[in-house]
Amino acid sequence: MKGTNLGELEELILLTVGILYKEAYGVAVMDEIEKQTGRSLNISAVHAVLQRLEEKGLATSKMSEPTGERGGRRKRIFFLTASGKKALAEANELRNQLFNQIPKVALGSLKFEV
């Protein structure tokens, strides 16, 4: 899908959804991001982004089985769609391409193997 530019947070959450395959719901995404990046997001922000991703077609959601701990309420589990996966891959590739073009001199002492 041309023109779907992923925002920074959107990409982050989309990646997390990928990581948490089959377990990706609001609280879990929030926890995972905190664990991996140290950023503590508010649950409503996470929900907002997840909805946006779904609207853009990069993710899709399904209701899970009812769980006892949430008073019998079901969770909404998110999955990557084909276009979501593609968007992530493209974004990643683009970033690497650009990074590799930075002259060694500018990077200074940073030595990176890509």
Partner 1 sequence: MIKRSPPKWADRFLEWYCNPSRLEAIQGDVYELYHRSAKVRSKRIANFLFIWNVFRFFRWSNIKRSKTSSPATYMMYRNYFTVFKRGFVKQKGYSFLNISGLAIGISCFLLISLYIKDEYSFDRMHSKADRIYRIHEIFQSEGVGERSASQPFPVAQALLNDHPSQILKAVRVFNFQAPTLALSTIDNKKEFNESRLFFADSAFFELFDFPLLEGDPSDALAKPLSIVITESMARKYFDNEDPMGKFLRFQGRQNLLVTGVLKDIPANTHFQFDFLVSFQTLIPETYNEVVPERWHWYWNPCWTYLLLKDQEAARQVQASMSAFVQKYFSELVRNDVSMELMPLTDIHLKSRMDYEIQPNGSLTTIYVFASIAFFVLLIACINFINLSTARAAKRAKEVGMRKTLGGQKFQLVGQFLFESILLCFLSVLIAVIVVGFALPFFNTFAEKNIEITVLLEPFYLGLLTLLPLGVGFLSGIYPAFVLSSFRPITALKSLGSQEKGSGFRKALVVVQFTLSIILLIGTGVAIDQLEMLQNSDTGFARENVVMIPVSRTPIAKNYLSLRNEFLRNPNALSVTAVEEIVGAKHQVGNFLIERMEVSKPLPRLTIRHDFIKTFDIPLVAGRDYSEDIHTDDSLALLVNETFVRQMGWKSNEDAIGKKFDNRADRMIVGVVKDFNFASRHQPIHPLVLKLNTQDQAFEVFIKYMAVRITGKDTPTTLEWLEQQWKAQMPGWPFQYFFLENDLEKLYKAENKMSKITFIFSGLSIFVACLGLFGLSTYTAEQRKKEMSIRKVLGSSDSEIFLLFSKHFFKLIVIANVIAFPLAYIVMKRWLATFAYQVNIDFKLFVLAGSAAIAIAFVTIAYQAMRTANNNPADVLKSE
The residues that touch partner 1, with contacts defined as CB under 8 A, are: 25-27, 42-45, 47-48, 51, 63, 69-71, 73-76
For partner 1, the closer CB: 43 or 89? 43
CB atoms within 10 A of CB 48: 13
Nearest approach in angstroms of CB 71 to partner 1 is 6
The CB-of-23 to partner 1 minimum distance in angstroms stands at 13
Give the separation between CA 70 and CA 14, rounded to whole angstroms.
24
Query: By CB neighbour count within 10 A (0-12 exposed, 13-18 middle, 19+ buried), where does 9 fall?
Result: middle
Count Cβ atoms below 10 Å from residue 46 Cβ, excluding itself.
21
Nearer to partner 1, 73 or 85 (CB): 73
Q: In the complex, what is the shortest distance from the CB of residue 81 to partner 1, in angstroms, rounded to a whole number? A: 19
Closer by beta carbon to partner 1, 69 or else 113: 69
Our CB check for partner 1 shows the closer of 44 and 109 to be 44
Query: Is residue 9 within a helix (H) or strand (E), and if so which, with residue range?
Result: helix 8-19
